[in-house]
Amino acid sequence: MSAQVQTSRKTVRDIAAAKGGTPLVCLTAYTAPMAELLDSRCDLLLVGDSVGMVVHGLPTTVGVTLEMMILHGQAVMRRSTQAFVVVDMPFGSYEASVEQAFLNAARIMKETGCQAVKIEAGEYAADTVRYLVDRGIPVMAHVGLRPQATNVDGGFKARGRTDAERNRTISEAVAADEAGCFAMVIEGVAEDLAAQITRQVSCPTVGIGASASCDGQILVTDDLLGMFDWTPKFVRRFADLRDTIGKAVDAYAAEVRGRTFPGPRETYALKRP
């Protein structure tokens, strides 16, 4: 008996093949309804650990747990069928050893059904990338500004301001690429550095605050939808949902207080036999 897996999802090959071609369209997704909306419009959906800040109100991504990532990963996988889905490995789930990284990455893959994991890759992480890839787990690396490292970096600061920092960012990117990551996020670097990394690595680069010189772009979906009062410089708001939602809720509240909602159309009538 042979079992054939039917899937129309993009694969790791489709993502890797985008190097130097039409830019990859990538967004974060944390919930089933949002995954359904984004699925056919994006090449890649990232269940980012930014979920901790965006959905759970945490001050940084450091407090995000493996269980949170699995829960959100499952929701996104349930309502997407086309986009390539990557789940972030949270802080503390992969840095201690390659074995720890493998066990937790395997758990994420098994329990969510996602296609790959992402890790924030300092130079030390190249061994982890190689270990996971060799054992069947596709890895997306994340270089430049690394939100999980804000406590050592002293905040969310763009990277590559000094020659030393610039060279380190390049080394991190090259090390992750040589270790076999299929793609990498570059966050918070100036255009010339993003362009140099994009030229130097063989995998596609996906920028966030890293200019149009990358092979693709990613944003936190809630940022582009205008859900927050404040957004970083690199975000363009393509909608103002905060205002739209505020006005809708004001209208609802006024109708409830004025007893005009619910009206006859929204009220069940007793049907007599």
Q: Which residues are catalytic?
A: 187
Q: Find tokens 């301001």 and name the residue.
A: 161
Which residue sits closest to ligand KIV, CB atoms considered?
48
Pick the piece of the chain touching ligand KIV (CB under 6 A) from 13-21, 42-50, 121-129, 174-182.
42-50
Q: How many CB atoms lie within 10 A of CB 194?
A: 25
Q: Across the strands, what pairs with 25?
A: 217
208 binds ligand KIV (CB under 6 A): yes
185 binds ligand KIV (CB under 6 A): yes
220 binds ligand KIV (CB under 6 A): yes
Q: How far is CA 72 from CA 33, 128, 158, 175, in A?
A: 12, 24, 28, 30
148 binds ligand KIV (CB under 6 A): no
Closer Cβ to ligand KIV, 113 or 232, answer by number:
232
Pick the piece of the chain touching ligand KIV (CB under 6 A) from 48-56, 128-136, 230-238, 265-273.
48-56
48 binds ligand KIV (CB under 6 A): yes
50 binds ligand KIV (CB under 6 A): yes
Cβ distance 178 to 203 under 8 Å? Answer: no
**Options 39, 49, 177, 222; binder of ligand KIV; rule CB under 6 A:** 49
Torsion sign (Cα): 143, 169, 187, 90: positive
Cβ distance 206 to 26 under 8 Å? Answer: yes
- Nearest approach in angstroms of CB 20 to ligand KIV is 21
Q: Inter-axis angle of helices 126-134 and 98-112, to 10 degrees?
A: 50
Q: Inter-axis angle of helices 66-78 and 98-112, to 10 degrees?
A: 30
Q: Rounded CA gap, 114 and 116, in Å?
A: 6
104 binds ligand KIV (CB under 6 A): no
- Residues of the shown chain interacting with ligand KIV in the complex, contacts defined by CB under 6 A: 28, 46, 48-50, 88, 142, 185, 208, 218, 220
